[in-house]
Amino acid sequence: MIKKQFLKSKPLCKVTFSLQPEAVEDAKNVELVGDFSQWTESPIKMKKLKDGSFKTTVDLEVGKNYEFRYVIDGSKWENDWEADAYVPNNFTYEENSVVTV
């Protein structure tokens, strides 16, 4: 699930990314990777909540599309089930999730 909060004072949007427990299957670690994190070079660690879901918030510049995916326990790549769009990934021939802000 993706939640967007646009800031009035800056051209930024606080985007909260979250994965529900049924999407992570008892995962211990989930990382968010994408255009905004240079993909796997600087993954963003997501916080595990008491209900088993994972969540993190990222400030993104408005007026852009950002491709991203979740990495579950360092090996399983997952898209967001409620992304704004999906685009082909030229490396694995799968799709990447897209968030538009």
DSSP 3-state assignment of 34? strand
Lookup result for tokens 């529900």: 20
Q: Name the phi and psi angles at 59, rounded to 5.
A: -85, 120
**Measured distance CA(11)–CA(62) in Å, rounded:** 6
Is residue 93 very low, low, confident or very high in pLDDT (cuts 50, 70, 90)?
confident
> pTM for the full model?
0.92
Q: pLDDT tens digits for 24-62?
A: 888 999 999 999 998 878 899 999 999 999 999 999 999
Q: Which CATH architecture has domain 2-100?
A: Sandwich (2.60)
Q: pLDDT tens digits for 68-91?
A: 999 999 999 999 999 999 999 888
